Chains A and B, each alone.
Chain A
Amino acid sequence: MIWLAILAIIALAAFGAPLFALIAAVALIGLQLSDYESTVLAVEFNRLAESPVLIAIPLFTIAGYVLSESGAPKRLVRLTEAMFGWLHGGLAIVAILACAMFTAFTGASGVTILAIGALIYPALRQAQYSERFSLGLVTTSGSLGLLFFPAVPLILYGIVAQSLGTSPSAGVEDMIKAGALPGLLMVSALAAYSMYAAPKRAHDVPFSAAELRAALWDARYELPLPFIVLGGVFLGTFAASEAAAITAAYVLIITVVIRREIPLQRLPAVLREAMELVGAILLILGVSLGLTYVLIDAGVPEQIFGFVNTHIGNKWAFLLLLNGFLIILGMLLDIFSATVIMVPILVPIAISYGIHPVHLGIIFLANMQLGYFTPPVGMNLFIASFRFKTPVLVLTRACVPFFFVLLACVLLITYWPGLSLWFIPPSP
């Protein structure tokens, strides 16, 4: 009977049933098995209203949507071009930097490819970068920046991990600090590869002080944003949720009131689109709180824990298996569902191997980033395929070298905990 139900759920998943319904169904089966009322699921779902950091998710999502609807992507590309365009492989580096920054604000929801990729792709082609390289770069860069605050997956990991009450703990602020260096590693590695792979006489942009000044002036309202967001948290002026509040209000004021790039009549539609994503994420988070409860109550994490501990001898073997598992998970599941379902199970196991939950978070997100352009689910492949009118298979091939560059980064991040824990004070 139980196997029948599980089979039915797998079939429904394959045919595209909403994930929240599938998670809820599994949780309900669990409740049925332990003879609990279904009200329990609502009690857990209601814990969404318990977490003070959660507010960061709608606020940053709104900020990201508003920014991508404004002229900010254009100004960001212009500015990075004026700053780095003159380097060898300069345009590729521009693509990487602009995508990373933009993804941090839009949470790798695929908007990056539409907003930035679409701007840069023609420029790359015009500068004689090969079609394959250009497509691969733009598709890959669409998820770059996932490790940078305020990317929503980073925040979500912090929220879920913190709710577990482990020691050492991993809060949102820790994740923000931890993501910086590994994120920079990925950006630098891709930039280095691009410099190597760029055509010999890439027709890039000559440096112009006047253009740089103009670009800086053009982006004057957006320039304070990284400082509000990152400076606030790194210097300790703001908590993550507060940085979110200030960012959202600031972005709304500059785009709607000062620049007037989003007319007032258009604003509700932009807000609604942001809210749809927020609703989809939080719904999954809410029901998975229920699932996590069912699993904890039934002692499932302890059983998995025991199993893993008896079969995997040491930390390094565990990390190797973890990477393999996470890449597959990233291929099959979207980042939000993967986080809310797997993190409560993975964190205690990782801690038992002496892996800091903050480090685990960075490993987790870095692997998930690969999943964005790995078939069969890799969302960015489909978005790029739609945007650039290119078959998914061609795109997949184009992404191969970039995949290996990032895979090397993921391995380095995995086996060098210090990189992630650089700014994290040692736990007492």
Chain B
Amino acid sequence: MIQRVLKILEQIENTAMAVLALVLIFAAAAQVVLRLFDVGVVWLDPVLRALVMWIAMLGALAATRHDKHINLDALTRLLSGWSLRAARLLTLLFAAAICVVLANASYGLVQLDRESMTPLVNDIPAWWVEVILPVGFGLMALRFALRAFVLPAPSQPEAT
């Protein structure tokens, strides 16, 4: 049951990422074409930059799923068995804890910008974009905590 829910969540995440990536590519290209034809759209640039932020957070969340976060792994390459388990438990729970703090900190940012009604552009409030930060870090914390108890698939030095 939990497996099924996780699978569905992952699929939603994958789809969201692909859609955001495609929107980013074609909106950015459209902006260039529009500029060449002398048309500027005031809200397009802030929206594109907001998209980068969302993609960064969703990408980081997915990177957690596949152990793709950048780390120094010279030592861990030498570990196996229980020592590898212990190292993962320690480091991934640490990462989860940091993500909790970051989620809390970004919730503070969202609050701050809601109170002062900081705009992203025109009438769009900035916090609509920023809300991905507490949500993203929160989910990342959860995922790190779960991964702490799971060993990765047989080691495959992949391109990062």
Determine if A252 and B25 form an interchain contact, defined as CB atoms under 8 angstroms apart: yes
Instruction: Assess whether A271 is in contact with B91, with CB atoms less than 8 Å apart.
Output: no
As a 0/1 sequence over residues 332 to 343 of chain A, the CB contacts with chain B under 8 angstroms (1 = contact) are 111011000000
CB pair A109 B70 closer than 8 Å: no
CA distance A212 to B125 in the complex (A): 56
Question: A280-B70, A334-B70 known; A272 and B62 CB under 8 Å?
Answer: yes
Contacts A15-B87, A20-B69, A49-B53 given; does A376 touch B74 at CB 8 Å: yes
Whether A238 is near chain B, meaning CB under 8 Å from some CB there, is yes
Establish whether residues A248 and B29, one from each chain, have CB atoms under 8 Å apart when the complex forms: yes
Q: How far is the CB of B139 from chain A (nearest CB, A)?
A: 12
Return chain B residues, CB-CB under 8 Å to A17: 71, 90-92, 94-95
A276 shortest CB reach to chain B, Å:
4
Given contacts A39-B105, A269-B14, A278-B55, 12 further A-B contacts (CB under 8 A): A16-B71, A17-B94, A37-B105, A49-B129, A54-B49, A59-B28, A245-B31, A279-B60, A280-B59, A283-B56, A283-B63, A385-B157
Contact size class for B?
35 or more
Q: Mark B54-66, 1 if CB is under 8 A from A, else 0.
A: 0111111111001
Complex CA gap A346/B146 in Å reads: 39
Residue from B14, B26, B28, B76 in contact with A272 in the complex, judged by beta carbons closer than 8 Å: B14
A35 CB to closest chain B CB (Å) equals: 15
Q: How far is the CA of A154 from the CA of B105 in the complex (A)?
A: 31
How many Å lie between the Cα of A275 and that of B64 in the bound state? 12
Q: How far is the CB of B99 from chain A (nearest CB, A)?
A: 7
Task: State the Cβ distance, B70 to closest chain A Cβ, in Å.
Answer: 5
Docked complex Cα distance between A376 and B108 (Å): 40
B57 shortest CB reach to chain A, Å: 7
In the A-B complex, the 6 residue pairs with the closest CB atoms: A279-B59, A39-B108, A279-B60, A245-B28, A110-B159, A282-B56
In the bound complex, what is the Cα–Cα distance between A127 and B40 (angstroms)?
A: 56
Quick check: B109 and A43 within 8 Å, CB to CB? yes
- A257 contacts the other chain (Cβ, under 8 Å)? no
B25 touches which of A21, A49, A248, A278 (Cβ 8 Å)? A248
| Docked complex: B133-160 residues within 8 A CB-CB of A | 133, 156-160
Q: Note all chain A residues with C-beta closer than 8 A to B105.
A: 37-42
Q: A21-B95, A58-B21, A62-B25 are in contact. Are A246 and B101 (CB under 8 A)?
A: no
B contact patch SS = helix
A309-353 CB contact bits vs B (8 Å, 1 = yes)?
000000000000000000000001110110000000000000000
Task: Report the bound CA distance from A409 to B8 in whole Å.
Answer: 52
Chain B residues with CB under 8 Å of A280's CB are 59-60, 63, 68-70, 160
- Chain B's closest residue to A241 (CB) is B28
Are A245 and B29 within 8 A (Cβ)?
Answer: yes
Q: Are A245 and B52 in contact (CB-based, < 8 A)?
A: no
Given known pairs A38-B105, A62-B21, the reply for A16 and B55 (CB within 8 Å) is: no
Interfacial chain B residues near A278, Cβ < 8 Å: 55-56, 59
Chain A interface residue count, CB cutoff 8 Å, equals: 77
State the CA gap A256–B101 with chains docked (Å).
41
List of A residues within 8 angstroms of B95 by Cβ:
17-18, 21
Write out the residue numbers on chain A whose beta carbons fall within 8 Å of the beta carbon of B63: 276-277, 279-280, 283
B62–A276 CB distance below 8 A? yes
Residue of A39, A271, A276, A386 most packed against chain B (CB within 10 A): A276
Inter-chain contact B106/A21, CB cutoff 8 Å: no
**Would you give the shortest CB distance from B43 to chain A, in whole angstroms?**
14
B159 touching A279, Cβ below 8 Å: no
Please give the distance in Å from A294's CB to the nearest CB on chain B: 13
- With A and B bound together, what is the CA distance between A113 and B14 in angstroms? 27
Contact (Cβ within 8 A) B70 A55? no
Interface residue B32 (Cβ < 8 Å from any Cβ of A): yes
Q: Do B14 and A18 touch (CB < 8 A)?
A: no
| A268: Cβ under 8 A from any B Cβ | yes
Does B2 interact with chain A (Cβ within 8 Å)? no
A24 to chain B: closest residue by CB: B98
Cβ B49 vs Cβ A249 within 8 A: no
In the complex, A114 has a CB within 8 A of chain B: yes
- Say yes or no: is B112 at the interface (Cβ < 8 Å to chain A): yes
| A113: chain B residues within 8 A (beta carbon) | 159
